[in-house]
Structure 1
Amino acid sequence: MNTTVIGVGLAVVIYTVTGGSHAVSLTHKYQMTVILSGMAVAFGIVVYKISGHAGFRENLSIAGALGHLNVADFSFDLDKRYTLWSGLLGGFFLSLSYFGTDQSQAQRYMSGQSIRDSRLGLMFNALLKVPMQFMILLLGVLVFIFYQWEKPPATFLPESMTEAAAAADAETYQNYENAFISNFKSQKSAMQEFVGALRAGDEALVLSSEEKLKVAGEESRQSRTNLKTHITTVTGAESMKETDYVFIHFVLNELPIGLIGLLVAVILSAAMSSTASELSALATISTVDFYQSHFSKNQSDAHYKKVSRVFTAVWGGLAILFALFASMVESLIEAVNIVGSLFYGTVLGLFLAAFFIIRIGAHAAFIAAILAQLSVLFIYFSDIVTIGYLWYNLIGCGLVIVLSFMLQAVMRGRKV
């Protein structure tokens, strides 16, 4: 996996350095085409494979019974990561900051051929993102259902780890695997009973079979957890998680040979697309806001172009190192959102203060941003209070605004 990360990272760095924003924009179009077509193919195949066991709605009912269709949590618990309120409020500020202040997005609008094109690009983002995210999440649910009907591997971790664990302690490994196989068969039987109850239309039978399915599902899940824990402990990779291996396992083992390459291209295209945008944005900021503003103000465009390429390569190297480290976290997309939420709120607060609150000066806003950022980081790293990471966006933004007003009142006439 490390070889893939390094290879993809180097490829992105090369075409971003040599082609600049034009190469990033051009490759984005082709990558998006590959991603959308590949996801559509994967969706169709997984629906076809599970339809032999139960209908589409029946399979969704199974997913709901097993706890994978909890669309909204209406509780007000701040320590829960995903609730309706954290999504509406924290998610709103996260999206506002990402699409309104993130250089990787803003440069797309600024590079549009006209204001109309830039507005269309922003609207396209707004209209496409929600249904696209919904389809991706639904695809994940369907893949989950597929592996409830068809026996999955005892763990989706790399085979090298599984083989190492089996070789180190064959008897213990076999006991864990046998327990998993037994529980999987019990769960599948409970699923068939649940589907039969749904088709019979007997409400009492549906409720009783659903309870049996929940119990069987929990036992199956626990047996897989026990085996996975044993494998990671024996191999010395306790922090290794399997979340990001599930879909690629489905692609490599369930799709026809001709389509495997397409879906692998989808995964690589998604990684390359987002990485190229960030590298281009970081290089632009480093060159214009850092190098040109503080070290070399009167150089030629050719000079700044060379410097931008150097910054792109440097940031690319750092991105590869971060990706190698990020492979140890539970979910890559969640890790990215957590890191973003730590800083997006503060950045958004600065933009709001600068554009809409003219009474706040630069010194007050700058100090407020530092204090707000330190506060968010303290909340995240301390054990004093536990808050879902989406709330950091609201907290950071709110603190910048409030502290800016307070500091400006203290500074009074020093509005600079």
Structure 2
Amino acid sequence: MHWINWLVVVAYLAWVVGDGIRRSRGATNLEGYFLAGRSLPWWAVGLSVMATQLSAITLIGTTGQGATDGLRFVQFYFGLPIAMVILGVTIVPFLMNARVYTAYEYLERRFNPATRSLTSFLFLLSRGMSCGTIIAAPAVVFTAVLGIPLWMSIGLIGIPTVLYTVIGGVGAVTWADVKQMFVIVAAVAAMLVVIVVQLPLPLDDALRLAGATGRLTTFDFSFNLTNTYTFWSGIIGGTFLMLSYFGADQSQVQRYLAAKSVDEARSSLLMSAYWKIQLQAMILLLGVGIFLFYVFKPMPLLFNPVQDRAARAAAPGAFAALDARYAAVTDERRQAADSRDAAAFAAADRAVNAVRTEALATAQDALGQPTRDVNYIIPRFVIDYLPVGLAGLFLAAILAAAMSSIAAELNSLATATTVDFYQRWVNPAATDPQSLRVGKLSTMFWGLFACIVATQAATLGSLIEVVNRFGSFFYGSILGVFLLAMIPRARGVGAFVGLLAGMSVVAAVAFGAPQVSFLWHNVIGAGTVVVVGLVLSLRPAR
């Protein structure tokens, strides 16, 4: 990679880390470290909330999703505005007025210590795994750029981020997120311009070709529990997922708990409700643009360069035959695109996908490891085709997004560990210095845990799907407990047993009926917790 690109990366990281350390100097007590003294303005909190989602996973996984599957993924977010409005009038004022550090403290006041601890434990487990996926995203880029092993890339990203998080607090993380948002949007917009300028067809003709392959299909009104990306799964399952994520996940709750007031916390969520879908659509369009770009440029048979080299060395004859067929079908697709024949283009694209699928299967058999390479599509494009400087900007955006998101996740994990377990069960009389020391040690532990998860997450397919699969396994049941908390007749025993029942039912569906889309796990978990919790709460005491 050109030295100018590395200069851009180093300069940006130095700016973000330096400013984060400067802002961390005021975080000398527990409230300052974990909640920034409850003093952050709504717009900074709002940008930080969006930045957590517009992470390296979004830039890598979502663009890859757009390139291979099109815009259907945007339906995943259709429930977001609904969820934000509901949270603004329910959970946000509850938690803000309770003056808590974690969302789970409120559950002890409403129910009992057991419910608080179990819910917090499930958060720690789910968010720890999701944090590993966030680390895996930029590790994929480094593996492709530098040709080093995945575990080494994970260490290069995870170790400095853990150290930075230990030094800083949530205030430093939030202001880093604000910078990150502007850099990401600028990088994505610049890349879209580069792609459009280099397309040999007028934009409307190019989009018509993309539409012929189904990549511009945005709405699917079919009702099918096995299909993740439909209007109904987004509106129903997505609403439950977003309610749980923003209302019961400490990594997000901690953001608006740091706001100045209830109104400012509400405004920060409404900001995300208004802008998130448009931003997500723009990133998916970047993926569609990369697909169109590769119609007219040489397209790799396998996007992961490390696995590509290894697979060719292991099965040279098979890949020689595949290369010949691939050259023929990609040339056929190019000719159909030049002639603007949408039907022929769609048929040729299916042929291209068939050869790529066969190549991935051949590589998997030869190497004995998963070879889904959707997460390598945009890194390969950036390395091979982006101009000097812009490639550096994109890599800086990925690194900054990853470090900021990882720091936020680790900070929330440390907060829950310290407040919900250390202060509650180990040392209720802990001083601020003692609690801060435990918080920093917790950050290191969860950083190590996330790095271990990251080594596996990178091989599980689209990272944007992986992180939401992890979350959906837990989120619905956690949300169900908070829904019970707002029902006056609900009791502690109902909430605790309901939570166990919700997790059990979700596990049974996830492993016993894997064809059911993970988005519906949120509805199933929340519904089970509420029903079981209310039934047990209404039983007369003996």
The two structures share one fold, judged by TM-score above 0.5: yes
- The amino acid that maps onto 2:230 is T
- The amino acid that maps onto 2:504 is L
Return the match for 1:191 from 309, 330, 337: 337
Contact 1:341–1:390 at 8 Å: present in 2 too?
Answer: yes
Q: Paired residue for 1:162?
A: 308
1:322 correspondence with 2:450: no
For 1:54, what is the secondary structure of its paired residue?
Answer: coil
Q: CA RMSD in A?
A: 1.5
Work out the CA distance in 1 between the residues paired with 2:430 and 2:310: 58
Work out the CA distance in 2 between the residues paired with 1:114 and 1:359: 29
1:85 correspondence with 2:232: yes
Residue 340 (structure 1) shift: 0.5
1:117 correspondence with 2:261: no
Contact 2:360–2:371 at 8 Å: present in 1 too?
Answer: no
Percentage identity across paired residues of the two chains: 37
Query: Unpaired segments of 5 or more residues in structure 1?
Result: 196-208
What does 1:18-37 align with in structure 2 at a 5 Å threshold?
Answer: 18-37=167-186
Q: Which of the two has higher C-alpha Rg? A: 1
1:275 correspondence with 2:403: no
What does 1:222-261 align with in structure 2 at a 5 Å threshold?
Answer: 222-237=354-369, 239-261=370-392
Work out the CA distance in 2 between the residues paired with 1:74 and 1:233: 38
Contact 2:226–2:515 at 8 Å: present in 1 too?
Answer: yes
Query: Unpaired segments of 5 or more residues in structure 2?
Result: 1-142, 144-149
Work out the CA distance in 1 between the residues paired with 2:302 and 2:211: 22
Greater length-normalized contact order (CA 8 Å, ≥ 6 residues apart): 2
- The amino acid that maps onto 2:165 is T
1:141 correspondence with 2:273: no
Q: Which of structure 1's runs of 4+ aligned residues deviate more than 6 A?
A: none
Q: Paired residue for 1:212?
A: 344
- The amino acid that maps onto 1:173 is F
TM-score (norm 2): 0.70
Contact 1:15–1:23 at 8 Å: present in 2 too?
Answer: no
Work out the CA distance in 2 between the residues paired with 1:245 and 1:407: 49
Using the TM superposition, name which of 72-81 and 319-328 deviates more.
Answer: 72-81
1:306 correspondence with 2:453: no
Work out the CA distance in 2 between the residues paired with 1:318 and 1:148: 41
Q: Paired residue for 2:527?
A: 398
TM-score (norm 1): 0.91
Residue 7 (structure 1) shift: 1.4
Q: Paired residue for 2:97?
A: none
Contact 1:27–1:273 at 8 Å: present in 2 too?
Answer: yes
Residue 269 (structure 1) shift: 2.0
For residues 265-298 of structure 1, give each alpha carbon's deviation from its aligned partner in whole angstroms, at most 9, with x where no partner exists.
1112222222111111111111101111011000
- The amino acid that maps onto 1:326 is A
Work out the CA distance in 2 between the residues paired with 1:54 and 1:170: 36
Q: Paired residue for 1:202?
A: none
- The amino acid that maps onto 1:171 is G
What does 1:63-82 align with in structure 2 at a 5 Å threshold?
Answer: 63-82=210-229
